[in-house]
Structure formats: C-alpha cells, structure tokens
Amino acid sequence: MNTKNFIYALHLADNALILAQRNAEWTGHGPVLEQDIAITNISLDLLGQVRNFYQYAAVLYNGFSDKQKEEVNQFIPRLWKEYHRELQEDDLAFLRDEHQHLNLLITELPRGDWAQTVLRQFFFSAFQFYLYQQLQNNTDQQLAAIAAKSIKEVTYHLRWSAEWVIRLGDGTEESNDRIKNAVADQWMFTGEMFIPEEFELVDVGALKNSWTKKIEDVLSQAALELPRQTWIQSGGKGGKHSEYLGYLLAEMQYLQRAFPNSTW
C-alpha cells in the first residue's frame, strides 16, 4: 500500500479525534442531562472511527519498507522510536506533536457555547457525510469499509446537529444571536475542507456543491443567512495549527507522556 494511504488515514483519524476530544469537554457540563449524553455519544462515535483509522495506519506503517518509512518519518512520534516495538494506535493518538497533526482547523476551535458546538458539529458532520459517501467506494478497501460503517452514525450526527441549528436560529432573540455569531466566527474555517491536499484519496473539491446546498437549506430553515465573506483560513491539513491545538493535546496526551506505555 502507498504512503499516501497512511497519511490520509492519519488525516481522517485526526479530524475525528480532535473533535471527539472537544465534544468530550461537555461531558458533565451539558445544558441538560439528555443533551449531555447526546454530545458525549457523538464524541464516542467519533472515537470509534479514530480507532479504526489509527489501527489501519499502524498496520500499514509496520508493513512498510525502510524507504517508505523514511517517506512518512515526519509524522512518526519521536518518543515511540525509543520503544523499539511495532507502532500501535495509541502511539499515533497520544505521542504526536502539534505539527504532526493533519486535522481541519475547525475541529480544534474551542468548544465555545452550545451554539458554537452544535454549529461546528453541523458543518463537520455534513462534510463527513458527503466525504464518506465517496470514500466507501474507494479502492482502498479498508478505508472504504470504515467509511461504510461510519456513515450510519454520521447521518444521525448530521440530523441531530441540523435540528439544533434550526432550533436555535428559529428560537429566542438570544439563541438567534448566539447561533448568528457562531456562523460569523466559524465560516472562514469551512473552506479548508474543500482545498485538496496531495494525500487525499477523495476529490474534496467536488463535495463543495452538495455541502453548500445542505448548509443553505438548513440555515434558511433557521432564519439565518449564508455569510458572504470569502476569506478562507487554512493550514490544518498541512500541519499548521492554531494555538488551541497545543492546549488540547497537552490535556489529552498528558498521561501517556508522563507514564509511557501505561495501561488500565
């Protein structure tokens, strides 16, 4: 298998992992118990996808020739190299530094208020939905199988988050204000989804129309306007991140770095 597939698996996993970690920040702090469980469920669903992608990436890496290993060396955690054992999913999740992550910037933004959280989930789930629809037909059978398995839960995430966007947009003056601010804040981070990177095995540019149509449809039901602003913030897929990612990783990776190879 190609090194591109390895890097692409990392990208798909990083997207889901960083958003899973962000959503998990709501655990125990949700606005009501029922929605606390809902957002935590979504977080766990994403974490399930993460495990599949990292496990696959680790299998690929362990089977690589020395030359291939050299090609992807920049993504391999330094600490793991001292372990002298095969690469595992947890090494990829807990030992890589900021610049080795290839997640979309929108996934690392702070959780913000509930409006920010559900809007980000909506933008991202809509993207994942159209992406996985394509990915499930990919010639890389393992990635295709993970996409086919995940698309059912993504369909639910999309439905859940879209309903919240509509509920807030079409709700009270305050809820409308909050979701409007969220749209204004996050819009510039959505364009990055559709700027192709070399390692991507799906033509993401081609997803933009369906995605935009879905977003327009839901925002209009929510009495919200699609922003006109066209400036796009990008860099996440290339390993250039906002300051937020470092703090997130510090919290998430602390245990494995302080107590290497610890398990429970």
Partner 1 sequence: MNNSIIKYCYGDYGDKESSTGGGTIKTSANEWPLWEIFIRSKQGLDHKHVGSLHAVDAQMAIENARDVYTRRQEGVSIWVVESKYIHASNPDEAESFYEPANDKVYRHPTFYDLPDEIKHM
| Residue with Cβ nearer partner 1 (171 or 191) | 171
Residue 32 C-beta: closest distance to partner 1, Å: 5
Q: Give the dihedral of Cα atoms 147, 197, 188, 248; nearest 10 deg.
A: 70
DSSP string, 88-121: -HHHHHHS--GGG----HHHHS---SHHHHHHHH
User: Which of the 8 DSSP states describes residue 227?
Assistant: P
CB of 178 to partner 1, least distance (A): 9
Is 38 one of the binding residues for partner 1 (CB under 8 A)? Answer: yes
Q: Could you say whether residue 122 binds partner 1 (CB under 8 A)?
A: no
Q: Is 167 a binder of partner 1 (CB under 8 A)?
A: yes
How many C-beta neighbours within 10 Å does residue 193 have?
26
Given the rule CB under 8 A, which of 14-22, 23-31, 78-86, 90-98 is the region that contacts partner 1?
23-31
Does 260 bind partner 1 (CB under 8 A)? Our answer is: no
Question: Interface with partner 1 by CB under 8 A: which range of 49-57, 112-120, 209-217, 219-227?
Answer: 112-120
170 forms part of the interface with partner 1 (CB under 8 A): no
- Spatial separation of the C-alpha atoms in residues 54 and 9, rounded to whole Å: 7
Give the CB-side neighbour count of residue 156, counting CA atoms within 13 A: 11
Is residue 197 at the binding interface for partner 1, with CB under 8 A as the rule? no
